[in-house]
Amino acid sequence: MPEKDLEKYQIISVNRKARHDYHILETYEAGLILKGTEVKSIRNNQVSIKESYAQFKGMELYIVNMHISPYKFGNRFNLEPKRDRKLLLQKKQLVKLKGKIEQKGFTLIPLRLYFKNGYAKIEIGLAKGKKLFDKRRDLTQKAIQRDTERELKYNKWGR
């Protein structure tokens, strides 16, 4: 059997605003180190990655400001909701990313959080911030694309 057929994805959270605010240059899949009841909270979709970002501490990469709500039945085993969580990447990828992050204007932002074969994974993107005119141009291009698709559909049915 092909290996791709064995992989099961369960998307938990998507950061839609990231593609609006940033130019995504590259994406990477990273594992997450979670403790205690955090996995149960993530499985219950009690997580937010909207305002989070990735940051280097030495040669290790951490996701900062990702909110995982305390598990309802976790009582004393619950951890702080916005604690820093370590990301797991290969050493080559870490060195490459650290070099690019040190350049001006680049940042690492989470794009989506999902489970892959039972393990929590996060897709992070190397991003550069968009200017206001870039955002406006993207919105006009999206509107033009939507109008052309509407016209094609309209002409296809001959109305």
**3-class SS letters over the chain:** CCHHHHCCEEEEEECHHHHHHEEEEEEEEEEECCCCCHHHHHHCCCEECCCCEEEEECCEEEEECCEECCCCCCHHHCCCCCCCEEEECCHHHHHHHHHHHCCCCEEEEEEEEEEECCEEEEEEEEEEECCHHHHHHHHHHHHHHHHHHHHHHHHHCCC
Q: Which tens digits make up the pLDDT trace of 70-122?
A: 888 877 777 788 889 999 999 999 999 999 988 888 999 999 999 998 899 99
Indicate which CATH number applies to the domain containing 38.
2.40.280.10
Confirm whether 152 is domain-assigned.
no
Using the predicted structure, report yes or no on whether residue 127 has a pLDDT greater than 50.
Answer: yes
141 occurs within a structural domain: no
Question: How many independent structural domains does the chain possess?
Answer: 1
The pLDDT of residue 21 is 85
> Does some domain include residue 126?
yes
17-58 pLDDT tens trace? 888 888 899 999 999 998 888 888 889 898 999 999 999 999
Owning domain of residue 26: 3-131
So what's the pLDDT on residue 1?
A: 38
